[in-house]
Amino acid sequence: MAPAVRKTLPQIARAVDLAVEAIRSGGRMVYLGAGTSGRLGVLDASECLPTFGTQSVVGVLAGAPVSLTQSLEGVEDNPRQAVRDLRKIRFSRRDLLVGISAGGGAPYVLGGMRWARSIGAKVVGLTCNPAAPLKPLADVSIIPVVGPEVVAGSSRMKAGTAQKLVLNMLSTASMVRLGRVLSNRMISVQLTNQKLWKRGAKILSELTGCNMAQATKTLKASGRKLPVAILMKVEKISRLEAERRLRKGATVAQVLREAMGQGSR
């Protein structure tokens, strides 16, 4: 699966360009799929808020929420339902649609892609079928060719693994480009539980050289916002001033790099 995905890196890069452009203009990257493909989209999208602090990646699954945990195979046959689901989340021409279908012919996905194009939105297609019907509907087609499944027709296996790899790359590379990651650190992580609180304190300690007690104190003073805490510690400024600088900067990562004297690293 990995070698198959590697061959699609140029297409993935073009899709990331479209995602970054959409999100910078106030839009979102919206994954659309049915069955395994749709669940993978929801999985990747749901991780973007805690990891990158953003709701700009959205997953739309045919038959949700029931189909998230139960198989509802018939729901993928209704192209009009995809349009209704996209309208429900107020999909617009500013958004990027990523249609996900292992075989590339799910009517639900095709219907959503066709409608997205009709309103002027950019569309990416993710499939493992080189002859997929979705190709003409996509501005960029990402097609890792993984070959026949170990269990014939069970696209949750090789195709599903390849799709998950691609989705990981789309969201992660887009968030790096948008400055929501500093080097390999999750600077936009949401400190919503003890594990993530400790992770935030550790990142703050590593980046600023303070001890864990100081890191914890600064995180509390920052309102539990890691980028604010980093800037407060590095520049020795107030929470309000740190928040102001972060709002004015092009990206969170750029503001922090400049404060830490890291240039473009």
Tell me: do 173 and 226 sit in the same domain. no
Tell me: do 169 and 84 sit in the same domain. yes
Summarised one tens digit per residue, pLDDT across range 51-68 is: 898 999 999 999 888 877
Query: Residue 122's closest CA among 5, 14, 247, 230?
Result: 14
> Does 93 reside within a domain?
yes
Tell me: do 28 and 101 sit in the same domain. yes
**Separation of alpha carbons 229 and 243, rounded Å:** 9
**Number of domains making up the chain:** 2
- Whether residue 9 contacts residue 90, with contact meaning beta carbons closer than 8 Å, is answered with no
Question: What are the C-alpha distances in Å from 147 to residues 1, 34, 130, 162, 240?
Answer: 9, 21, 10, 11, 55
Virtual torsion, Cα 142, 148, 150, 156, nearest 10 deg = 30
> Does 113 reside within a domain?
yes
Summarised one tens digit per residue, pLDDT across range 181-219 is: 998 898 898 898 999 999 999 999 999 999 999 999 999
> Does 58 reside within a domain?
yes
Classify burial at 26, counting beta carbons within 10 Å of its beta carbon; exposed 0-12, middle 13-18, buried 19 or more.
exposed
Catalytic annotation, residues: 47, 76
**Separation of alpha carbons 256 and 208, rounded Å:** 11
Tell me: do 79 and 149 sit in the same domain. yes
pLDDT of the residue at 115: 98
Tell me: do 45 and 11 sit in the same domain. yes
- Residues forming beta bridges with residue 100, ordered by sequence position: 33, 126
Query: Residue 134's closest CA among 161, 109, 164?
Result: 109
pLDDT of the residue at 64: 83
pLDDT of the residue at 263: 44
The stretches in the chain having pLDDT less than 50 are 263-265
Query: Residue 258's closest CA among 179, 192, 144?
Result: 179
Domain final position from 136, 151, 177: 177
Virtual torsion, Cα 115, 80, 103, 140, nearest 10 deg = 10
- Residues forming beta bridges with residue 182, ordered by sequence position: 185
Residue 106 sits in a domain whose CATH number is 3.40.50.10490
Q: Where are the alpha helices (DSSP H) in the chain?
A: 2-6, 9-24, 35-52, 79-88, 107-118, 158-177, 194-208, 212-221, 226-235, 239-248, 252-260
Strand duo 96-100 + 29-33: pairing? parallel
Give the pTM.
Answer: 0.89
Range of the domain at 65: 2-177
Tell me: do 167 and 240 sit in the same domain. no
